[in-house]
Structure 1
Amino acid sequence: MKIRRVLATAVALAVTTPAALLSVSPAYADAKPAAQTQEKQSKPSIEELEEAAAEAQKAYDKAVEAEAAGRVELDKTFADLSEVDGTHPLALASAAANKAAKDAAAAKTAADQAVTDAQAALDALPEDATEEQKAAAATALSEAQATAATAATTKTAADTAAAEAGKKLTDARIAATRAYGMLQKAVEDALAVKAAADAALAKAIKEAEEGEEGEEGGDCEPELDLTSKVTGLPDKLVAGTSTDFSLRVTNGSDRHMDEVLAFVSVHATDKSGLKDTGKFFRLQWSTKSAPKWQNADADDYIDGVGALKPGAHADVKLRLTLDKATPAGNGVAFFAADFFNEDGSCGGAPDLDMYEFDVKAAGSKPGKTEDVKPSATPRPGNTGTTPQGSASGTPATTGSLAATGSSSATTSIALAGGAAVLLGAAAVFVARRRKTGSDA
């Protein structure tokens, strides 16, 4: 028998942010991000998961619709920005600048030829040429040289203007392409949310069916006096380094606990809050009974604590290693503890303790660091964190042609719920279930 505490980010996402819902400009769709809050509960009901799955489907459908409209808008924008027959002001300005540069180049070529001809005429004067003839030839050469100098200056200015106009045109195309790319990314994210919601619903239905078939099991009870406290974890971590810290699990209750399991889980994203960087992290643990460093397993449980008498505690050494390629961003670590006894009773801390930290790129100086402080345990619909660079808690990416003279192709996409921890890793559900004679 083994108690499993599942960091159900898929369930949390399905219930608390069923909308990787999009906020897009009227050019694409008329939808606003949905903010949802729900009372904290031990486990979402099938009805709630069905509603979440339906909302996720709607969000995905809207994302697909917005992407299709975005494709049409992108094609229209590219046609307007065409250097051949585009009607956008930037296209017209670029065409005019290119023509001016071409005319200036031709004028300079003609002026340079005039200098060559004037010099040849001066050199060809006979030895018996009069002073008046010599003066006239010299004057003609001087005037030709002045004209050539002016033509060269004009050509340089025209070439610069053409290059600048061309860059603005290119930037406008890039902005339009990026805007459409965000719509494509929104479809991918909405599909991931939909898949998570569908999977959570399917799992809940399966468990309900198994329960109806008479599967033995029950809910574990909350135990507020089983605590876990972290020390030595800094609030800033640098890529390419390892950090050792510790977790103390204390049985403050009056009951004996036959086996205690510590729960540790680490999640991180880049600065945007949209890209999961957890693959660059490696978490290891060591205890008195198992002193050799071991990698944290897939379900993030540490089983080296053992039994705890009333009032006793056990320390778990932890080591968090960041790959050199870890992007700068944000991180969060969750800690808790569970127990089970031979008589079938089980339980644990009802909430997870959450610790937020910053991630610095390799080679950075972390500066003054302090031990990270526990944040409030996140509730569904409220991550308790704010992404860097955002006061609203909703990271926004905008691709706009407004600065270049167009507003028709402006697109603003805000992915709801993508804060300091990707797709609800900071919005945690603690789903706990006891099974007798099973390790599931």
Structure 2
Amino acid sequence: MLATAVVAAVTTPAILLSVTPALADAKQSAASQAQQRGEQDKPSIEELEKAAEKAQKAYDDAVAADKAARAVLETALSDDAPLSVAAKAAKKEAADAATAKENADKALADAKAALAALPETATAEEKAAAEKAVTDAETAAVSAEGAKATADEKAATAGRARDDARVAAVREYSKVQNAAKAALKVKEAADKALADAKDEETEPEEPSCVFESKLSTVVTGLPSKIVAGSTTDFSLRVSNGTDRTLDEVSPRVYFHATDKGGYNVIDDAFHLQWSTTASPTWKNVDKGSNAGSISPLKAGAHADVKLRLKVDAKAPAGYGLAFVAGNYVNDDESCGGNLSTEYAFELLAAGSAVPDDVDDAEPGKTTPQTPDNKPQGGTSTTPVNSDNADNTADTGALASTGSPSALPQFATAAGAAMALGAVAVFVSRRRKAGSAS
């Protein structure tokens, strides 16, 4: 009977029994469908929506089960629970039985003391009455002792039943809690998969920028010999040879150099600034940044950007290239640019004397090479994007050029990466920023 009462007190409501199957079903819908179809066959939006609905239902059921299990737990822990009431009553009975035994023991002791205190002059009737009192007290004491033992056992049994019910309720609630947490994780994963799929479906395609040979970028005034520790001013002319206005044109200039051995890259020794008539204050050209912006540049027009190069005095003697290119982005998000032109120069150690008639650096005629070092021939027009220039810092192979300088393969093979790729990324970021506003 007692075991039946314990089971009845902690039996989990029927809703709890549905949590695990529902959770498993949601996991099957959310995670296993891809395996059934094959790894490369992505689920459709409709399938992901159904999986999310199942996961949501499993989670809702788990939350309801959690609430029901908590109610069971609170009932089991309550002093008003049937087993708690029974344990309390049994404990009181045991306490009353203990008191009754104490009284019976005292009564027996008093009866014995009264018998022993009878005087020699006591009558036979008095002796008989005292002896009977002792016998009755002994019988009562034995009965009280048995009643106490029975009450103690009953109280212990009732207490264990109450405690077992409480432990069982705590365990059941813990299981349901874990099921709810697992259901939440499945739901969140299903929701994320659906959201990601919708984002992929609605995300605009990345812009495809085009090569524009009629956008020219020409450097003037950059000497072919530069001394470390010096400051050199030169200019860049950007010309729009197309038949349309380019809404925003961004010149890009990047300096790359090595020591004479060709293995020690010293790009960080070069610091470039720009200014224009419209923006006369000198501004730094950080790695990956444009050398100003021309907005707009009309068809057939040109614009000049002033450039100032500062070279650290600690830079060793060596050889370098200036990569020059131009990108454009229109208001309709069409974009493009030219490929970079390379201007070779010699870097002299700090304190070196430079002749007054030193020639300006001219667009170099190098021998372009593919990444596997196979010569291609022709004039080098290396794509430029200083975002990725430092990725080639460890390149040490040398390539011959039209000048006496030995320039790294960096200059002829990959340069500083793709200008059109840089402007495409810019357009993509601008598009996303516009959609978020």
Q: Into which bin does the TM-score normalised by the smaller protein fall? A: 0.3 to 0.5
Higher share in helix: 2
Tell me the TM-score normalised to structure 1 length: 0.42
Which structure has more RCO (C-alpha within 8 Å, separation ≥ 6)? 1
Higher share in strand: 1
Tell me the TM-score normalised to structure 2 length: 0.42
**Larger CA Rg, structure 1 vs 2:** 2
